[in-house]
Amino acid sequence: MKIKKGDTVLIISGKDKGKKAKVLEAFPRQDKVIVEGANIVKKHRRPRQEKEKGQIIEVPKPIDVSNVKLVCPKCGQPTRLGYRLTEKGKYRICKKCNQEI
């Protein structure tokens, strides 16, 4: 999976289409990411103790990685990713501006 925690992404489909936000968590095995402020769902929580009240909390749910596109930090445009091999190792590059990410 090419998108990692901390990357800025643009959501390209779904109810939050068009939002730019940061990736909070990545799940490579499921090909999903949790994006800050996107795909928020309401969850009902039962009271855990006798004197406590039940509540409705908002929780971010994972989005499929195919529904987000990385925003290049150099050119600021949504782009695809490529890889370049050097003596130092493998690093990600922007397909639009060919700069290292």
Predicted structure pTM score: 0.85
Q: CA dihedral defined by 29, 34, 39, 41, rounded to 10 degrees?
A: 90
Decide yes or no: CATH 2.40.30.10 for domain 8-73.
Answer: no
Burial of 9 (0-12, 13-18, 19+ CB in 10 A): buried
Query: For the chain, what percent of residues have pLDDT higher than 70?
Result: 100
Query: For the chain, what percent of residues have pLDDT higher than 90?
Result: 92
Enclosing H/E stretch for 87:
none
Domain assignments of the chain as residue spans, ordered by start: 8-73
pLDDT tens track for 56-94: 999 999 999 999 999 999 999 999 999 999 998 999 999
Structural contact between residues 34 and 20, judged by C-beta atoms closer than 8 angstroms: no
DSSP class of residue 72 equals P
- Chain centroid offset of residue 18 CA: 13
